[in-house]
Structure 1
């Protein structure tokens, strides 16, 4: 990969890493589900009028609006209301081992000893993070783990809509997810409208970054790289995003660097890296796409 394109891959990882800080700033002012509604409503308004959706892909995109929109993104925002940005950046990496497990179950992808070891490292790191003293409650932690699993499940569905551009998928998925999450916000939250109307410029600056920086710009660059190079060359660059998320959370949010976060992050990121590396190796008589192909899906 040329240096220029590698730099673009690093830029994407930085944009996604900083996104955890932007989300954390947002949920401190507006209830997390309501914030997700605002994000998706604005995203749909920006993308849907300029993209098209095929009749064949529409049912899958509607299903994605639940698994990716409601179950991944809404739970991500909801969980980050009670977990630090650095911890969230690490936990979301569990989407890769979850993808590996789902590929083994549904695509009959052979795991092998090294990838099983990587799974153990990744989930062991998550267990260490669960004991972090700065974690106010276990509930938000488990919500983020479920969010990572929902991302992995969504990647199986994204393969069904390969005929539609990723930007169109993002916009139309946001359109259908908005009323779903709005309903949950009405049931579980209060004073949402007042919070949005009285939000400071920090909220709108973070929302602008989440939509334009993390979603539109980062995804456009990411899928361009995936169209030019093998997944095995592109996906490892994303391992930089949790490191950026941790550093940015310390710098901008004043979070502390506990030994649980260091050890848990090292184990989780190391396990994910091992899984990605082993999946990039050619395997004989491989009749189904490796789980690494699932990693073409969405990140934050």
Structure 2
């Protein structure tokens, strides 16, 4: 990998990690569901004028608006309001092994014994994390796990859906999620407009960073890198996101560290790494880098 692309990868995972800090700042001024809705409004305004969808794609985008827009993002924003940025990022990282399990059960995709062991290690990490005081109640953990399931189910929908360009998908699912998230905010939250009008820079930073930096910029760079390099070379870097989120939470927000949080985070990240990293392909790339580069073209 070229050095400039390596730094681009690090920038992308850093943006995703810092997004948890930005959300925490945004929640100081705005209710979580309303913050989520405003995020979708900004993404839709930025992307919709430049993207088009077909009638065949609309049902799949509607499903993604619920699983990815409402289940994943809304519940993540609500959950972060009750825990710290790093813990939320680690729990939601379970979306990867959950997606692998769902693909195994529903799509009949094969899982090796090593991958199953990695998934079990990840799940054991959640059991350890549940003892951390950073998760104040079982229902907070349930919210974050449901958010992870929403992300996992979204992967299955994308796999079965007709081809949709990534930014087109991001823009239109955001647009279609606005009514669902907005209605839920209207039914369960109060004084949203007043909160927006009196929001400080933290509230607006939470909206704009999550929408523009995390969604539009980071995902654009990520998909560009995936087109240039093998998936098995790029995807493992995403495991840095929860690690950096924990570090940034401690340094920027003053989040605490305890033995449950450290041990549980390590188990989740280690287990996910074992489950997703194709060791055989990595070895081939290390031995025959030129051959690997030719194959991806």
1:149-186 CA-partner distances (Å, limit 9, x unpaired): 11010011112445321111111101110010111111
Paired residues of 2:28 and 2:202 also in contact (CA < 8 A): no
Counterpart Cα distance in 1 of 2:215 and 2:122 = 26
1:193 to partner: Cα distance: 1.7
Question: Is residue 2:112 matched to residue 1:112?
Answer: yes
Match of 2:253 in 1: 253
Match of 2:143 in 1: 143
Counterpart Cα distance in 2 of 1:35 and 1:140 = 18
Q: Does the C-alpha gap of structure 1 residues 275 and 247 become closer, same or farther in structure 2, counting only changes over 3 Å? A: same
Question: Is residue 2:205 matched to residue 1:230?
Answer: no
Paired residues of 1:83 and 1:141 also in contact (CA < 8 A): no
Counterpart Cα distance in 2 of 1:51 and 1:259 = 47
1:70-219 matches, within 5 Å, as 70-161=70-161, 163-219=163-219
Q: Does the C-alpha gap of structure 1 residues 73 and 235 become closer, same or farther in structure 2, counting only changes over 3 Å? A: same
Give the CA RMSD over aligned residues.
1.5
SS at match of 2:94: helix
Counterpart Cα distance in 2 of 1:210 and 1:280 = 36
1:106 to partner: Cα distance: 1.8
Counterpart Cα distance in 2 of 1:56 and 1:135 = 42
Counterpart Cα distance in 1 of 2:277 and 2:52 = 36
SS at match of 2:169: helix
Instruction: Please report the TM-score for the alignment, with normalisation by the length of structure 2.
Output: 0.91
1:104 to partner: Cα distance: 0.4
Counterpart Cα distance in 1 of 2:55 and 2:42 = 24
List runs of 5+ in structure 2 lacking aligned partners.
283-297
1:280 to partner: Cα distance: 6.7
